[in-house]
């Protein structure tokens, strides 16, 4: 995936972020969710293709000694090519380098591609949040709570950190 770089998300990225969000999710985050995340000082990452075109993003909230991955999304045309995994590993390495002991996230049990990604990345199911997500016909879907403990090597190597904006060997 040559040419993908990480940078801090900025307000001017929000129209593209929201467009991607609306394109790929039946129940997308609202513009206010993204704006509030920026204002709260969460780690909001934008990933561009080198020409400045935003192709993915991630939102990470720090809790005392771990991080909570709130959103990791890849534009539809770039999905199923390993970009999500590369971003997940980059975000994990960045958090580990900065002192996080692990990462927590919620995922829909019906989101099989995401579940495969997280399982292959070492996440384990630690709980369930009942009726967490909106679903069709005014229903609610549970969320599986997953956690990945970072190992000693998670914060090392060429994938992580603010000093290295390359994502998973991608520029």
CB distance 67 to 32 below 8 Å: no
Token couple for 149: 């403990």
For the beta carbon of residue 144, count every other beta carbon within 10 angstroms: 20
Residues contributing to the annotated binding site for acetyl-CoA = 80-85, 111
End-to-end CA distance of the chain: 8
The candidate with the shortest Cα–Cα distance to 162, out of 116, 87, 93, 70, is 93
Active site members: 106, 118
């Amino acid at each position: 995936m040559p040419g993908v770089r990480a940078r801090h998300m900025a307000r001017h990225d929000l129209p593209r972020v929201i467009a991607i969000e609306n394109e790929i999710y039946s129940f997308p985050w609202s513009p206010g969710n993204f704006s509030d995340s920026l204002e709260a000082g969460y780690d909001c990452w934008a990933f561009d293709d080198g020409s400045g075109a935003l192709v993915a993003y991630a939102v990470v909230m720090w809790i005392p000694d771990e991080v909570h991955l709130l959103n990791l999304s890849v534009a539809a045309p770039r999905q199923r090519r390993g970009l999500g995994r590369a971003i997940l590993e980059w975000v994990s390495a960045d958090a580990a380098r900065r002192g996080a002991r692990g990462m927590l996230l919620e995922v829909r049990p019906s989101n099989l591609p995401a579940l495969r990604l997280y399982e292959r990345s070492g996440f384990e199911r630690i709980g369930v949040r009942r009726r967490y997500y909106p679903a069709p016909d005014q229903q609610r879907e549970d969320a599986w709570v997953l956690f990945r403990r970072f190992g000693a090597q998670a914060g090392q190597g060429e994938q992580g950190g603010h000093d290295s904006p390359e994502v998973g060997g991608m520029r």
